Structure formats: structure tokens, C-alpha cells
Structure 1
Amino acid sequence: MPDLNDLRRARAAASDALQAASAAIDGLEAAETPDATAIAAAETGFAAAEAAFEAADRRVKRAESAAAAEAAAAATPEAPAAGPTAPATARTPADRGIGAALCVMALAAGGGDVERAVRWGEANGHSGAVAALTGAVDAAGGVNIPAPLAAEVIDLLRPRVVVANAGCPVIDMPAGQMRQARLAASATASYGAENAPAVESAPEFDQVDMSFKTLRGLVPVGNALLRHASTPVARVVRDDLVNVMGTREDLAFLRGDGSGGTPTGLRNWALAANWAVEALKTPEAVEARIRRTVNLVEDADVALARGTWAMRASTKNFLASLRHPASGALVFPGIEQSGTLMGYPILTSSQIPDNLGAGGDETEITFFDAAEIMIGDSMALSIALSSEASYVDTSGDTISAFQRDLTLVRAIREHDLAPMHDQALAGFNGTGWSL
């Protein structure tokens, strides 16, 4: 059965082709001397594009109906079933994502072959977890982990990523891209004399574009571990996947510059006027800068439904230790009392550096409204495995998986990030703010 997301992408491409064919006809008809032959050819092309779109639309709707029917049948208690109708779920929160890890282990044991992987799961008492692989579809060079199991791993990733953990809205982008309109400038109202004409104004609109950025995580796992089909080993595999992907996703969403296929992170979405670099050390100066940072966002009429600070843990501890020289009272008592600064929660990440600037002692502090930051997500996880490939480790050395008796697990996720309004972000570089 074709993947529903692939069918939706194909429909989106067919829609683009249809729009292009329509525009071509409009351009030919608007010419001073319309070319009847060219118009006829363009109309033939439009008809073909229209037929292609209608066919793609039918395939999507048919697949959606089949998926809805499958879900309804699985939810009906009276419906008999020969085997498990849904992937096994973890009994305890600590074992969330174990099903996906067991699928990875089964695929490794089966050499990437889904049927052999399912047989491995049945033989080792994990049929409930790996039965979902029977409906898995091939991805580029790998296998798409079934959506319910992938969702558990994605849910484990979010707390490790500051921006996702802040409660930003997550939007499913099955077609791989999304364009959403936003209000760039509001209409205005004004007073005037009686019977005077009203001053005309109109709102201005632009759009936020997002397209998939591909995150690849590579985890080497010892084959000796994979030969032990146990839940503790599955936890090791799960944690390795979550750690390696969560760390890189956190860095991209915080500080990505948009180059090399990476998302643009919060730091680089912030307006230049909303970011400052100051050498602040005295409690009074630090407090003033913190307040000005919040003011930049509030004065832009941002609702601050989910205002959030992002900084290093050492920066948070520096702020928590500041005291007024005269009274000795804490400048920001809310940090120790409730983990908040100016009433807004603080989230920390080691991916925010503390060695920036000419002196190598600067760090970044970001304030943002999480409700204004959109995360586009494919909500999918693709897995590929190899026991013959080589990889380059963090020291720059080339490691042979075959020679080391390893299996390389490559996990792929697709996502992007964009703010609804750039004014919802502000921040600054603090100098010497690490304890």
C-alpha cells in the first residue's frame, strides 16, 4: 500500500503543475496578438494537468478512506482479529519508545528485510511490538517505522529540545511544505471632524513558508548487544537514538542559520533591532537588560501566551545568584522559587554556547513567545541499517562497522521551524555570565 504522505506530496506537485498550466494560458490570452495554436497546445497541457491532479486526488482520498476504515475496524471490540490490530504500547512511561527500538533490533537481525524482522520478533517474544512492521512501507534506503511507534520516539525527543518543550504548536506537513498567511501590518482607525471623510486604510499580509529540513542521526550499535533480544538492550538502542537526534535538533532550533539544509533557529529569526550585545555585570545593569528584553516583545503587541526564556544552565545559575549590593536581597528570587524569570519559565540547554565573542566569554539569552513559533513536522521516523558501511567518529577517524562487529542505525526525521511574527523574539549576548 503506498504511503499516504507520499500520495499527498504527489497531489501537491500535480496541483502546482495545474496552476502553472493555467497561468500559461492566461499569459497567452493576454498577449496583444494571441497565438491560437499556442493557446490550443496550452489548453491541451492544462487538460492533461487537470486529469493528473484529479487522479492524484482520487488516490489520496482512497488511501485516506482505507486508513480511516482500518482505524475504525481496529477500534471495534466485536471485530475478530487473527493477530494484534495495534502496536503494543509501553506499560510504564519509562518504556515509551521501546516498541520502536525493538523494531530497529528486529530489522537489524533481519538484515533490513521486514518479513524476516517480523519472524525474529515472533521467535523472541516481541510479536506485539514488531507486528506493526507488517504494514511498514519502504523509505529511501530504509523502512518507515509505523506512525504509532514513531510518535512515541518523537514525544521523547520533544522534552530534550528547548523550543519543542516550550509548547510551540506542531503542524503536520504531509506534503513536505506549508505556506501560511500572516498579518504584516494592521489597518488603522482615526478620529475626524463630523461629516469628514474617513481615512482609508487596509491591512497588509505576507506569508510564512516552511519546507522539510532532513535530520539524520547515525548510531553505531554493537552486534553483541543486538543478539540479546531483551527490553534492557532495547532501552539502550532507544536512548542512543533519542540522545543523538535530540541534541542536534535542539542546536538547530536554537541557533541554526538556515544554511546547508538546516532549519533557521530562534537566534537567526530575531530582528537585528531586538538583539543586543552588552558587557553587563552589575546587578542593576543585568536587571535593566532583562526588563528591556521583555519590553521589546511586549511593546510589539505580542500576546505572550507562552513567554519562555532559553539559556545555558550556568547562565540561569549566574542570574539566580545576583544580589542587590545594598540589601543583599536576590535580584531574581523567582528563579529558585519557581524556575521563572520575570514571571516566565526558564528552559536550559547545553547547546547554547558560552564561549562567544572576542573574549570567548559571551553567551546567548533568548526570550520568545512559544505560541508564536511554529514547528512543521512530518511526524515520521525512517530507519536504515548497515553492518558493512563505515562512518567517521567525532575524532575524525574512519570506523569500519564490519571490522568492529557493529550495526549502523541511521534515523531520519523531517521538520522545520518559523515564527508567525519575528517581533515575538528578542535576546542579547551576556558577557561573563557563567559561574
Structure 2
Amino acid sequence: MSRIIKLKADQAKVQDDMESLLATADAEGRDLTETEAKTFEDLKAQDDKLSASLKVEEDLQHRRAAAARPAASLPGAAGHVPAQPAEKLEAGQQFARITMALVNGNMDRRAAADWAENAWGTQAGQIVANLEQSEQTKGGLLVDETHSTDFIDLLRPRVVVRGMGATVLPIPTGNLTMKRKTSGTSATYTGERQPINLTGATVGTMKLSAKKLTALVPITNQLIRRASTSVERMVRDDLLGSVALKEDQQFIRGVGSDLAPAGLVNLAATGNKIAATDLSGITDAAERVQAVRNDLSRLRLRVINANVPMARCGYIISPTTKEFLENLTDGNGNKAFPEIREGRIGSYPYSMTTSVPSNLGADGDESEIIFADFAEVLIGDTYVTTIASSDQASYHDGTEWRSAFQTDETLIRIITEHDLGTRHDVAIAVLQQVAWKP
């Protein structure tokens, strides 16, 4: 381990001990005891000494870099030695490396930094050594904004609301309040020198407040100990898949609370939720096609007639609905929606996801179709990600409880923070009671 990395890791440990002393006294509502105060002063002196040593090492590093010359110009050099290009990592790969290092270091920054440097070099070790302790998650470490952003941006093609073009806003403080127009307009014709009158525009507020999304990802220890590019990709994709699945479900049908975002179905204006036509009594193929077209037209008109900009419109549907539309034919056997294989329904793109259920309704055979101008849908991201891990914890795999220790796995916990809102609730429309089956 380089001296700089070791000094930073040592300093982080000293500062953690100082914070622990203060936190204990604060939790008990008292000042530091005489013994604690002396310990704090000793730690403070150690911190000052480490800061001074770190400054000397960093200054020396800068001086060496400034004095460096190409190998070919040095006395006795046989020839030119080309510079080695810096390793170019794929998106999210550094995030996976940070996770693997923390797991292999048992969430200890010094051990994790040592492991990262041995596996990938000094720069990787420094990145891990500079991680900060999470104040909200015991034992968790914060991944800096650069690498968190890299990871979160990869969610776009995996989460249909992001993939359809929802507007992403940074909310570094965790909260954002903005004005939104709820009805009316503010434009009017006026004559020369005449005052501009208000024309019935109603303005409200929309608040994005960061909600915590927690994902648990079990990964075998045998896999995570191997520092290879293919393993890093697998770890990255496993982390992404777990976060994306839950985010997709919440962003589409989440009820919304102080702890979780409301989804599109519940953000849509009440008047924009309409029932689909019951096709069970329609046997004529042409009539069935026309009924489906009419339903989709009614759905779109709910948004169009609300004077929404229609900047990035599209559908979100279930796999069952997609199969139905793809196989629907008219009376002559022609495909009613041949363009669906090109990713469109009519002239608008669509995304398919199992996060739109097909088992709704009393008989469990109904689904929903969402149509929206996704430019009006807002995702607030803090771009803060917290990582914690345990090889002792248990988790439920959907069928039974499993022990990470017994299965030789490590359970990785990823926490991200975000919220979902809309500038206009009429920019979202939902076709409900869709009992269309292929």
C-alpha cells in the first residue's frame, strides 16, 4: 500500500474514533468526561500529525510528477518507452470495484483500500480510502457523486420510466420545491399600453423529497473474491438489476407515502383514468380492432386535450398486452399493429415491463396501459449511494429465508435516494380494466 493511502486510511480511523466519542456523549445528553476529553485531545493530536505527514507526502508526489522526464531522454536510455494509457473502465465498473473491495475488506476502509490497490492499482486504492462514513446507515460507506452518478445513469435502459425520457433533476439536499401550473393559461391579447390581465391560471407547488430505496443483493463469496473484468460486470449487473426492479415497480404503481414515491398510476389525474372496452362480447375481428383503436385514442386524447406539450410521449404496457397487440388481426388476417415490432404503437414508442401487472381485477385477468408525456414526469436524484455488506445476515428469496453464512454468500445492501413527481397530473393517462389476452 502506498504511503499516501495508508496515511489517509489511518486518518479516517482516527476521525471515526473522534466522532464516536462525541456521538456517545451527545446520545447521553452530556459533555465529555475527563477521560474522554483527554482521549479526544490525544486523537486530535494524532490527526494533526497525520495531516502534516500527508501534506509532506502529497507535496513530494507533486514534485516528482513535475520533475518526471520521458524515459528516452534520461542518461543511458536505450530508446523511447511509450506512455501507458490509463485504464478505461466501462460505466458502473468502478462502482462494482468499490463494492467488491469493501466486501473483501469486511467494510473496513483500510483493508478495503489495501485490497483495491493490490487488485487494480494505486488509483483504485485511493478511491476506496477516500470514502466517507454514512451518518444515516450504521456500518455503511458513501460512494462519491461521480461514481454514484455513473451507476444511477445505467438505470435508464433498465427502468422504463427513466428509459421513456423522464426528466431527471439533481436534488443534492434531498428536497426540491417548484411551481407548477395546475389549470388555465397566462397568455392573452392586449392593445397598446393596456395592462396584461390574468387569465385564470392556477399555480400550485410540487415538492420532491428524497425517499430511500434499499436493495439487497446476495453474491457468492467465491465469485466476489475474483478481481476480473467479467466478474466486475456480473457484480455491477446484479446490483443494477436489483435496484432497477424495485424502482420500476414503485415508479409505475407505487401508492406513495412519506417513505416511498408515488407511481405514475397514482400521480395521474383522476379524470385521466378510464376503463377499457370489454372485448369478451365482440366476436367480429374488425370490430375488436376498432374497439382497441378507440380505447387507445381515448387514452391519448386525455393528455392531448389537456394542452400538454407532448414533447416525449409514449406508452408503458405489460408483456400480456404487448403479445395481444402484436397478434391482433383484422377480418382479412392483417396485423392490426405491425409497427409494434419496431417499438411503436401507432406513432408513439412503448416500453414493456412486468412491473405492469396482468393479474388485476376481481378475476385476476386485467392489466393497465399508461400513456404520458414523460418530459413532464420528474425524477429527483440525490446521486448519493450507500454500500454496506454482511456475510452473517439472512434474506428472503421470495420462497424461503436463506442464511448468507450457510450458503457462503455476502449480502450487499445498496441504498439510493430519489423521488418521482409530475409538473402536470394531466400529462399522465391510464387505461384500466384491460382484459386483453392473446
> Which of the five TM-score ranges fits, normalised by the shorter chain?
0.7 to 0.9
Q: CA deviation at 1:147?
A: 2.4
Give CA-to-partner distance per residue, 1:330-364, whole Å, 9 cap, x none: 3223223x321131101111111001111211111
Distance 1:279 1:119, change over 3 A: same
Q: CA deviation at 1:199?
A: 7.2
Contact 1:133 1:146 in 2 (8 A): no
1:135 corresponding residue in structure 2: 130
Distance 1:189 1:100, change over 3 A: closer
Give CA-to-partner distance per residue, 1:210-266, whole Å, 9 cap, x none: 101110011122222222222222222111111111000000001100037221000
Distance 1:212 1:89, change over 3 A: farther
1:425 aligned partner, one-letter code: I
Q: CA deviation at 1:200?
A: 5.9
2:376 aligned partner, one-letter code: E
1:316 corresponding residue in structure 2: 322
Which SS does the other structure have where 1:404 is aligned?
Answer: coil
The CA RMSD measured in Å over matched residues stands at 2.7
2:115 aligned partner, one-letter code: W
After the TM superposition, which residues 29-178 of structure 1 pair with which residues of structure 2 at under 5 Å, given as runs?
A: 80=66, 89-90=88-89, 95-139=90-134, 140-141=137-138, 142-178=140-176
Q: CA deviation at 1:202?
A: 5.0
Separation in 2, partners of 1:240, 1:126: 24
The answer as to 2:373 corresponding to 1:369 is: yes
- Across the two proteins, how many residue pairs are aligned to each other? 346
2:55 corresponding residue in structure 1: none
After the TM superposition, which residues 244-393 of structure 1 pair with which residues of structure 2 at under 5 Å, given as runs?
A: 244-259=242-257, 261-281=259-279, 282-325=288-331, 327-336=332-341, 338-393=342-397
Q: Which runs of 5+ in 2 are unaligned?
A: 1-7, 9-61, 69-85, 280-287
2:431 aligned partner, one-letter code: F
TM-score relative to the length of structure 2: 0.73
Contact 1:88 1:99 in 2 (8 A): no
Separation in 1, partners of 2:186, 2:233: 55
Give the stretch that moved more between structures: 388-397 or 411-420.
388-397
Give CA-to-partner distance per residue, 1:395-432, whole Å, 9 cap, x none: 242x3323332221100000000010001011212533
Separation in 2, partners of 1:221, 1:331: 45
Separation in 1, partners of 2:414, 2:112: 17
Distance 1:391 1:323, change over 3 A: closer
2:22 corresponding residue in structure 1: none
Give CA-to-partner distance per residue, 1:170-191, whole Å, 9 cap, x none: 1000111110101223246489
Q: CA deviation at 1:133?
A: 1.9
Separation in 1, partners of 2:265, 2:296: 16
Contact 2:368 2:434 in 1 (8 A): no
Contact 2:117 2:124 in 1 (8 A): no
Percent same amino acid among aligned pairs? 36
Q: Which is higher, the Rg of structure 1 or of structure 2?
A: 2
Separation in 1, partners of 2:177, 2:393: 39
Contact 2:254 2:261 in 1 (8 A): yes
Which SS does the other structure have where 2:405 is aligned?
Answer: helix
1:186 corresponding residue in structure 2: 185
Contact 2:277 2:291 in 1 (8 A): no
1:434 aligned partner, one-letter code: K
Give CA-to-partner distance per residue, 1:305-350, whole Å, 9 cap, x none: 000100013312211222222x4433223223x3211311011111
Separation in 2, partners of 1:143, 1:163: 28
Separation in 1, partners of 2:131, 2:197: 60
Which SS does the other structure have where 2:356 is aligned?
Answer: coil
Separation in 1, partners of 2:431, 2:200: 34
Contact 1:309 1:366 in 2 (8 A): yes
Distance 1:113 1:343, change over 3 A: same
1:416 aligned partner, one-letter code: D
Separation in 2, partners of 1:127, 1:191: 67
2:348 aligned partner, one-letter code: Y
1:222 aligned partner, one-letter code: T
Contact 1:181 1:205 in 2 (8 A): yes
